[in-house]
Amino acid sequence: MERAPGIPQPVEALPAVSLAERRERIQRVLRGDLAEDRRRRLRERLITGWLFLAAAISVLTTAGIIYTLSIETIHFFQRVSLVEFLTDTQWTPLFAEKHFGIAPLAVATLLVSSIAMLVALPLGLLAAIGLAEYLPPRLARLIKPILEILAGVPTVVYGYFALLFVTPLLQRFIPNLQVFNVLSAGLVMGIMILPLVASLSQDAMLAVPQSLREAAYALGATKLEVVWRVVVPASLSGIVASFILAVSRAVGETMIVVIAMGNTPRLSFNPLEQMQAMTAYIVQVSLGDTPHGTLEYQTIFAVGTTLFLITMGLNLLSFRFLRRFREIYQ
Amino acid sequence: MTGTQLRPAVDTEMEFQPRLSLRRKVGAVFGVLTVVAMAIGLLTLGALIVDVVRDGWSVLSWDFIRNFPSRRASAAGIRSALVGTIYMMVLTAVIAFPLGVSAAVYLEEFAPKNRLTSFIELNISNLAAVPSIVYGLLGLGIFVRTFALGRSLIAGALTLSLLILPIIIIAGREALRAVPPSIREAGYALGASRWQTVRMFVLPVAMPGILTGTILALSRAIGETAPLITIGALTYVAFTPGSLFDPFTVMPIQIYNWISRPQPAFHQLAAGGIIILLAVLLTFNAVAILLRARLQRQIRD
């Protein structure tokens, strides 16, 4: 091959390599076919495989939960009929005369969650509106993390607070309030969940485009009207998602109800009395030494399955709302 | 309706009353309500802290930290629980951090956009909202029984690791997403492979964010009580665990044990334990906030 004069010819440094070999080598480099390239690709594939496995552990976790819960639950329902589980009004697996109706535990959980929601939803939404729309952004950035400390306090601490501060306080106004009661547990749980609602709802409101607010102001709306008729409806699916997640959190909450609500499973709707929530029953049995394979051991998995199904249903519903919200604005 | 004698055109004009001052007043009242809502949250937090400190201040002493729990309230301490919590946190961090970061890197940097990936993502979001006590049942069924680890430190650490894994993954992905694409492009332009780009360019930038998320996840794990009770952690332990397979207790369980006794002297011990627990948590959060501040400065630069 002729070269133009004056251009350096570095290839002459490799005299032993023929032109064909040289061409092949260049092509292999371009194809990424050298030994070191192959090594690199192999390493890359191994690492990707490891990373995938790490991500797959989450799927294995869910599979493990479903497997563990269903095995013992199936054993449970071989001994106890589903009809009894759903319709009996007594839950006394730890007594001589055994009844296996989930109703007392389920009603207690429902009651305490409802009280918590009466606190957490309105206050959380108001706080979110305050943070997103009313407070100057600098102040909101200061207050939000302090509010979020509430969500980071261990639940056993809230249990202490409910039993030894809130209940004695309430007993001054409600003399027939029992030492263990649903009301205190619910109120404290509501305060605990408030930051979850506030934080997620605020995020939803901040995602509403500024132009919508400006359009409403241009039509002569006041701040409150902009908030209630524009911002809240526009972020409604995000707010609803946060509400549903809050319910899910309340249903699964354990230590507050264990400590402050009592451990007597009885079907009642009076929040001034003690009751046993589903999670509290699981803890009560776990604290005793219950041998594997007994009916008592299986009951906690049956209750756990009920809990898991309820919360997962709520979580998936919440994600559906959240996705709809994200599709609109992001 | 008023003014029947007026012509319709004028009538409609009369009908619209801006009532601006009333509307503004209602708005101001509402603004006050939002502040009240936030104040209720903050005041409760304040009341909680004051109550706990008032109840527990008197029991705080070196003896309280040095002593093992006892049937006599005056001699009881939190040593076995404190040591148990420290072991538990170290183990959980060692297990959960590499797994969580790997999963976050996979989902953010490597995963193809397909059904499997979106299934994994949905699954992680759901796991983050599964009640902690369900993880306790998982740990009881898998780690304590199937793997026959018993009611040991390692069974507890594995359970808590699974519990906080979704939190680390979600925080890690956010940190990775915040790394500007130009940094990745710089890596590729230098001929680095995908993994080399991630390891040498992306991860160092994202690391403060990932660490912040991990610390917050660990501070969640420190406070967890229910899953560890469910797997059978003991509530009365008068020794410190010597190996991974020993029984253990942790601070929240010890606190719960003291709360559940009727005598007020034990309630004071519980409050003292809570003060120490909250102090540890506060330290963790302070570190997380410092890291976050550093991260924000770094991105600005």
DSSP string, A191-222: HHHHHHHHHHHHHHHHTS-HHHHHHHHHTT--
Q: Which runs of E-coded beta strand occur in A75-148?
A: none
Torsion, CA B286, CA B288, CA B290, CA B293, rounded to 10: -140
What homologous superfamily does CATH list for B62-300? Answer: MetI-like (1.10.3720.10)
Min Cα–Cα distance to chain A from B8, Å: 24
d(CA A224, CA B28): 8
Amino acid A293: pLDDT: 82
Strand partners, A215: none
What is the count of residue pairs from A and B with beta carbons less than 8 Å apart? 267
pLDDT over 50 at B1, yes or no: no
Identify the closest residue of chain A to B144 by CA–CA distance.
A292
Q: How many CB atoms lie within 10 A of CB A7?
A: 7
Task: Tell me if B198 sits within 8 A of B126, measured CB to CB.
Answer: no
Amino acid B298: pLDDT: 63
B138 and A122 within 8 Å at the Cβ level: the answer is no
Please list, residue by residue across A118-129, b when 16 or more beta carbons sit within 10 angstroms of its beta carbon and e when fewer do.
ebbbebbbbbbb
Q: Which of A89, A83, A84 is nearest to A106 (CA)?
A: A89
Q: Which residues of B touch A161 (CB under 8 A)?
A: 47-48, 51-52
Confidence band of B70 (pLDDT split at 50, 70, 90): confident
Q: Report which DSSP code applies to A230.
A: I
Task: Tell me if A120 sits within 8 A of A150, measured CB to CB.
Answer: no
- Render pLDDT for B86-138 as a digit per residue (tens, 0 to 9): 999 999 999 999 999 999 999 999 998 889 999 999 999 999 999 999 999 99
Identify the closest residue of chain A to B112 by CA–CA distance.
A52
In this structure, what token pair is assigned to residue B231?
A: 């797997």
Confidence band of B78 (pLDDT split at 50, 70, 90): confident
B120 and A58 within 8 Å at the Cβ level: the answer is yes
Torsion, CA B125, CA A113, CA B36, CA B279, rounded to 10: -70
Three-state secondary structure of chain B = CCCCCCCHHHHHHHHCCCCHHHHHHHHHHHHHHHHHHHHHHHHHHHHHHHHHHHHHHHHCCHHHHHCCCCCCHHHCCCHHHHHHHHHHHHHHHHHHHHHHHHHHHHHHHHCCCCHHHHHHHHHHHHHHCCCHHHHHHHHHHHHHHHCCCCCCHHHHHHHHHHHHHHHHHHHHHHHHHCCCHHHHHHHHHCCCCHHHHHHHHHHHHHHHHHHHHHHHHHHHHHHCCHHHHHCCCCCCCCCCCCCCCCCCCCHHHHHHHHHCCCCHHHHHHHHHHHHHHHHHHHHHHHHHHHHHHHHHHHHHC
B134 and A308 within 8 Å at the Cβ level: the answer is yes
Q: Which of A204, A198, A234, A201 is nearest to A216 (CA)?
A: A234
A69 and B226 within 8 Å at the Cβ level: the answer is no
**Partner residue opposite B124 with nearest CB, options A50, A58, A154:** A58
pLDDT over 50 at B250, yes or no: yes
Q: How many CB atoms lie within 10 A of CB A100?
A: 21
Interface residue B234 vs chain A (CB under 8 A): no
ipTM above 0.90, yes or no: no
Least reliable range by pLDDT among A134-138, B8-12, B40-44, B132-136: B8-12
A147 and B38 within 8 Å at the Cβ level: the answer is yes
Interface residue B49 vs chain A (CB under 8 A): no
Amino acid A1: pLDDT: 46
pLDDT over 50 at B19, yes or no: yes
| A-contacting residues in B 154-193 (Cβ below 8 Å) | 162, 165-166, 169, 193
Residue B17, judged by CB atoms within 10 A of its CB (0-12, 13-18, 19+), counts as exposed
Min Cα–Cα distance to chain A from B167, Å: 11
This prediction's pTM: 0.87
Regions of chain A where pLDDT drops below 50: 1
In this structure, what token pair is assigned to residue B98?
A: 């590499």
Confidence band of B286 (pLDDT split at 50, 70, 90): confident
In this structure, what token pair is assigned to residue A65?
A: 């939960």
Amino acid B3: pLDDT: 46
Q: Which residues of B touch A311 (CB under 8 A)?
A: 129-131, 134
Strand partners, A100: A91
In this structure, what token pair is assigned to residue A212?
A: 């919508």
Amino acid B164: pLDDT: 95
Q: What angle do CA B24, B29, B34 make, to 5 degrees?
A: 120
Identify the closest residue of chain A to B259 by CA–CA distance.
A160
Interface residue B262 vs chain A (CB under 8 A): no
Amino acid B61: pLDDT: 87
Domain ranges of chain B: 19-58, 62-300
Helix (H, G, I), strand (E, B) or coil at A18: coil
d(CA B84, CA B244): 11
d(CA B222, CA B86): 9
Please list, residue by residue across B152-179, b when 16 or more beta carbons sit within 10 angstroms of its beta carbon and e when fewer do.
bbbbbbbbbbbbbbbbbbbbbbbbbeeb
Mean pLDDT of B141-151: 89
Long-range Cβ contact pairs of B203-209 (< 8 A, separation 24 or more): B203/B101, B203/B105, B205/B179, B205/B298, B206/B172, B206/B175, B206/B176, B206/B178, B206/B179, B207/B175, B208/B175, B208/B291, B208/B292, B208/B294, B208/B295, B208/B298, B209/B171, B209/B172, B209/B174, B209/B175, B209/B176, B209/B178, B209/B292, B209/B295
Amino acid at B3: G
Amino acid B39: pLDDT: 95
B229 and A52 within 8 Å at the Cβ level: the answer is no
Residue A271, judged by CB atoms within 10 A of its CB (0-12, 13-18, 19+), counts as buried
**Partner residue opposite A301 with nearest CB, options B137, B256, B277:** B137
B137 and A254 within 8 Å at the Cβ level: the answer is no
Identify the closest residue of chain B to A157 by CA–CA distance.
B274
B137 and A68 within 8 Å at the Cβ level: the answer is yes
Residue B207, judged by CB atoms within 10 A of its CB (0-12, 13-18, 19+), counts as middle
B195 and A165 within 8 Å at the Cβ level: the answer is no
Interface residue B85 vs chain A (CB under 8 A): no
Task: Tell which of B99, B108, B130 to mutate to test the A interface (max A CBs under 10 Å).
Answer: B130
A160 and B193 within 8 Å at the Cβ level: the answer is no
Amino acid A288: pLDDT: 83
Q: Which residues of A touch B20 (CB under 8 A)?
A: 222
> How much helix, strand and coil, in percent to the nearest 5, is found in chain A?
75, 0, 25
Min Cα–Cα distance to chain A from B99, Å: 5
